[in-house]
């Protein structure tokens, strides 16, 4: 078993940490809000006061944070940053959804400290994190990934190496862009059907029998039609990821469909819907 540190105990990080603890690893945890660690501490994890204190003696340090700014502060803060406290030869695993530019910068900083970096953003939300069924979209060196495989397999059902550091972030942003486009398209279709008096259930059932239907659409449609918008992937977070994708493209004109879909989520945020599940955008079209 390994000594592992998890930085960030939000909806995803807390569930990933719990699976590592259940697998028998020695776990140290840190969270900006200390109260979030209580359940894991009760289960046997050790809580640290700062990211730097949390990584002392760790073989692997995994971060699951909100965005570039949070990731940068946790890894590189001059006083409390994790990277400066890591031992040479240890591995940093960044699972946050961040920009390719930032993850490449972190890779350079890690190398200067003698630390290997694996970027490992995930596909999946809270249910998959809890069940250990995440899909990791890894970027980095194949040998580094091989060392991390026993940990990743505790938390996920599949691991895909998509290229060097930076490619994981690009793949994750592309995945979320496709998801967001599907959400907006389904929301608009439901609105179209309702406004024209169609039998929405019958129409969608027929569409689901055609090749255009994606597996995730069953979940998306069921939450839209039941108005179950408990946050699995909040509107504000997917809008953030759309923004990262636009920035990576360099020019919104080169990704007009992604840019248009982002506009739908921005509109939802303006209407106070930012913290509900992404499928809540249906409220913009199917009132």
CATH code at position 240: 1.10.1040.10
Domain check: are 89 and 173 in the same one? no
pLDDT in tens, 195-246: 999 999 999 999 999 999 999 999 999 999 999 999 999 999 999 999 999 9
Count other C-beta atoms under 10 Å from residue 196's C-beta: 9
- 54 with 95, same domain? yes
Same domain, 173 and 40: no
Q: Which of 163, 190, 210 is the last residue of a domain?
A: 163
Both 60 and 137 in one domain: the answer is yes
- State how far the Cα of 139 lies from the Cα of 121, in Å rounded to an integer: 9
Share of the chain above pLDDT 70, in %: 100
Same domain? For 12 and 145 the reply is yes
- Residue 182 sits in the same domain as residue 137: no
Residue 133 shares a structural domain with residue 15: yes
Q: Are residues 185 and 142 in the same domain?
A: no
pLDDT digits (tens, 9 = 90+) for 71-109: 999 999 999 999 999 999 999 999 999 999 999 999 999
**Cα 75-176-68 angle, rounded to 5 deg:** 20
Range of the domain at 275: 169-284
The answer to whether 165 and 103 have CB atoms below 8 angstroms apart is: yes
Q: What is the CATH number of the domain that holds 113?
A: 3.40.50.720
Share of the chain above pLDDT 90, in %: 99
pLDDT value of position 1: 81
Domain shared by 125 and 191, yes or no: no
Q: What is the pLDDT of residue 286?
A: 81
Locus of tokens 């250990």? 132
Final residue of a domain: which of 132, 163, 194? 163
Task: Report how many domains make up the chain.
Answer: 2
What pTM was estimated for this model as a whole?
A: 0.95
Asked which of 134, 163, 192 is the last residue of a domain, the reply is: 163
């Amino acid at each position: 078993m390994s000594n592992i540190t998890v930085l960030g105990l939000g909806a995803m990080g807390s569930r990933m940490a719990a699976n590592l603890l259940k697998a028998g690893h020695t776990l140290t945890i840190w969270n900006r809000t200390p109260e979030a660690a209580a359940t894991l501490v009760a289960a046997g994890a050790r809580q640290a006061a700062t990211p730097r204190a949390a990584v002392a003696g760790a073989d692997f340090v995994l971060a699951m944070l909100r965005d570039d700014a949070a990731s940068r502060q946790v890894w590189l803060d001059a006083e409390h940053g994790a990277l400066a406290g890591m031992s040479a030869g240890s591995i940093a695993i960044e699972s946050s959804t961040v920009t390719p530019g930032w993850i490449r910068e972190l890779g350079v900083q890690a190398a200067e400290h003698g630390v290997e970096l694996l970027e490992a953003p995930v596909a999946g939300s809270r249910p998959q994190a809890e069940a250990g069924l995440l899909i990791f979209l890894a970027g980095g060196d194949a040998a580094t990934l091989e060392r991390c495989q026993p940990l990743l397999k505790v938390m996920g059902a599949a691991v895909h190496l998509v290229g060097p550091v930076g490619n994981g972030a690009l793949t994750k942003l592309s995945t979320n862009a496709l998801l967001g486009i599907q959400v907006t398209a389904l929301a608009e279709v439901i609105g179209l059907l309702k406004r024209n008096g169609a039998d929405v259930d019958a129409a969608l059932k027929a569409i689901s029998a055609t090749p255009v239907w994606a597996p995730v659409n069953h979940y998306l449609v069921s939450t839209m039609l039941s108005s179950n918008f408990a946050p699995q992937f909040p509107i504000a977070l997917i809008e953030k990821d759309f923004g990262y994708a636009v920035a990576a493209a360099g020019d919104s004109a080169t990704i007009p469909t992604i840019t248009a879909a982002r506009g739908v989520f921005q509109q939802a945020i303006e209407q106070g819907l930012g913290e509900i599940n992404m499928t809540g955008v249906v409220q913009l079209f199917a009132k």
